[in-house]
Chain A
């Protein structure tokens, strides 16, 4: 494998954009990334799209093909990958391997999404399969996604004494970061009182402690060392990318599971923990080397729990780290300087690539008010349906 570099990143701001199609969001993000890379569409040798189930893709998840048939028919390789909310990381990993193999010098990874309103529903037309957890969770108990996260949060209160105020403070920290990010959808800072006064969705989680759904798009262009020198600017290398799936015995309350088989000694959220540790091994780094992390904060619980799961903090230590300011910009481990999902709302297939955009901007020193000073190693972690985990490490 040869070294691979980030040539450019780009995004369409997150929000609700009823007048903009999924393809238009994608074009916007790609144009920005190509601009950073000083490339034209015709220079791309490959495009890997994170396939959405919600819109576009010609009904077959062919989002890369749809995009090049709209913008640039020059015969490049198109690959469309699934992975639900982790699809962007799977797309990145695929693009990374394509360039690392030596066969491709310029490959883009792209995700663009327009989300339906409200709770993410059961896919229309799904069969009524009595062995399908997703069918059972809707049909027999009406369990929405926040219910799963809420049960993790409730258990954390029991195990570690986490308070409602600490969960709220995690949201407040994310909102403060997001207020400094022009790509974030929610850019008004909140207070602990405001978070606690927002409607209870699934006890103990309030509305402002749960990520919304948004429309957005993000793109990352990877290339060879020669391409990176041509593009100019600081050399941002892909230190590692890794994807993984879940392990038998994982104790997580995993959407949409209604019956699980937890076993002692198996890591919680094992798909993501495995991806993170695999990426650290490949990059030759450990927790102490990471300058900032972008994680999939579907809720305030994730902000406290995930850094512990990866080994940044001891179990239960996250609460104290958060309240001591160690998870904000300037702290020991800045978590989601972008503002995270809580400030963006989730645009599923695009979200993991937005994480990579933030890593790149931070390492290039282009993150403005939310800049983590002197950042040299930055990483992401994301989780998707089907027990998909992904983690990407960039270094300057």
Chain B
């Protein structure tokens, strides 16, 4: 049961189920606003109903901006081995902008580049592998 040993670092925020990873968010049934992470109410002041339902976000989009996390963050981020990594803000769908690690060499990272949601191994200990969400260059092919 190798697959059962692969878990999301926060299972309520990231689905690893086939066919492709998805961020777990919320969509407002009244105004359509898409949220990540999950919310208990829509926060759009123009929206009166504010009824929300879970949403799976497959997340394809364009890079809005990026940086490099050069210093090791506090231990809550349990990545092994550690090395500096690119962080990006990605405009995905329905006006949602999501932050995440961008798996691409820094010299190839450009604002506006197409990206799609992927997963990255944070750490693997014994049979237990812990994944987080990431973004990778999108070649445009169907996943």
A150 / chain B contacts, CB cutoff of 8 Å: 67-68
User: Quick one: which of B12, B44, B65, B77 contacts A141, CB cutoff 8 A?
Assistant: B77
Contact A258 B33 (CB under 8 A): no
Contact A122 B45 (CB under 8 A): no
In the complex, A151 has a CB within 8 A of chain B: yes
In Å, the complex CA distance between A241 and B73 comes to 37
A185 to chain B, nearest CB (A): 21
B10 to chain A, nearest CB (A): 5
In Å, the complex CA distance between A80 and B79 comes to 39
In the complex, B16 has a CB within 8 A of chain A: no
Contact A258 B37 (CB under 8 A): yes
User: Quick one: which of A137, A144, A151 contacts B71, CB cutoff 8 A?
Assistant: A144
Interface size, A (range)? 35 or more
User: Quick one: which of A121, A138, A143, A263 contacts B87, CB cutoff 8 A?
Assistant: A143
A146 / chain B contacts, CB cutoff of 8 Å: 67
Interface string of B53-73 (1 = CB under 8 A from A): 000000000001111111111
In Å, the complex CA distance between A205 and B133 comes to 25
User: Quick one: which of A137, A200, A263 contacts B99, CB cutoff 8 A?
Assistant: A137
In the complex, A158 has a CB within 8 A of chain B: yes
In the complex, A248 has a CB within 8 A of chain B: yes
Contact B96 A130 (CB under 8 A): no
B76 to chain A, nearest CB (A): 4
In Å, the complex CA distance between A258 and B43 comes to 16
Known contacts A130-B38, A151-B66, A158-B65, A140 near B87 by CB under 8 Å:
no
Known contacts A144-B71, A202-B68, A158 near B132 by CB under 8 Å:
no
Q: Which 4 A-B pairs have the closest CB atoms?
A: A142-B77, A142-B73, A259-B36, A130-B12
What 14 additional pairs, Cβ within 8 angstroms, besides A200-B68, A248-B43? Answer: A119-B71, A119-B73, A122-B74, A122-B76, A138-B77, A140-B9, A142-B79, A143-B99, A144-B71, A151-B65, A151-B67, A201-B70, A258-B99, A260-B96
